Amino acid sequence: MPKPYPREFGEDVVRVARNRESGVTIEQVVGDFGVHPMTLHKWLRQADVEDGVKSGVSSDAAAELRELKRRN
C-alpha cells in the first residue's frame, strides 16, 4: 500500500483547489501536485465535513471511534 500523503500536503492541495482561479480545472490542480483526482475528491469531501459544510464524521470523531472499538 502506498505511503499516505502528509496532512499538511493534503490541506495545501485542498486550499489551492478551493481557491483556484476561474478556468483552472481540478485536473490541472491534481496534475500540478501529482495526486489522483479521486484522492483530491475525497480530501475535498472530508474538508467540507471538517468545516461543517456537509454532514458526516470528522477525522477526530472517526479516530475516537476507532480507539473505542480497539479497546472493546
- Structural domain boundaries in the chain: 7-12+27-71
Global pTM reads 0.73
Q: Which pLDDT value is given to residue 18?
A: 96
Q: Where residue 16 falls among pLDDT bands split at 50, 70, 90?
A: very high
Percent of the chain at pLDDT > 70 equals 100
Would you state the pLDDT for residue 31?
97
Backbone φ and ψ of 52, nearest 5° = 80, 10
Give, in order, the Cα–Cα distances in Å from 27 to each of 7, 16, 41, 61, 65: 21, 12, 11, 31, 34
Tell me the pLDDT tens digit for each residue of 21-58. Answer: 999 999 999 999 999 999 999 999 999 988 888 777 77
pLDDT band at 65 (very low <50, low <70, confident <90, very high): confident
